Structure 1
Amino acid sequence: MLAPTCHHVTLAKNDIAHVQQCTECECVSIHLGTTTVRIDALALEELWAVLGEAAATLYAQRNAKLGALRGFA
């Protein structure tokens, strides 16, 4: 028996990444340049959470450094 052929639909896209989901197997593909990561939808949600946390930490660190440079720390 042959595996079903994947048919991808775009979920989101920008200059950095292209995220697609297969309508057959529901696997999510994240394309970053020449690298593609395939994960399931639940893993995508977990990745979204940890990336959001990392972005918030970097934002706070950057603002703390700017505040120190301006004499607000």
Structure 2
Amino acid sequence: MKRKSWMLGVLFVLVILVSYMAKPEKTQNDLLLMNIEALAAGEDYVPIQCIGTGTVDCPLGGKTKFVMIGYSLE
């Protein structure tokens, strides 16, 4: 009886291992990768204009008084 229980336990473990190993690998969807790439790229061109001399950092370089950033619909 002990031998039957032991063999049944081994068979159960083998079935679990085989079913775990037979799972297909999850592949990343192309659409998901394109979305990640688009989010990482940021905006194409946004017009920036730095006005005056002051303590505000201008994205174009240097210090300025005002930074005006326009919106682009493209």
TM-score by length of structure 1 reads 0.33
Larger RCO (CA under 8 A, 6+ residues apart): 2
TM-score by length of structure 2 reads 0.33
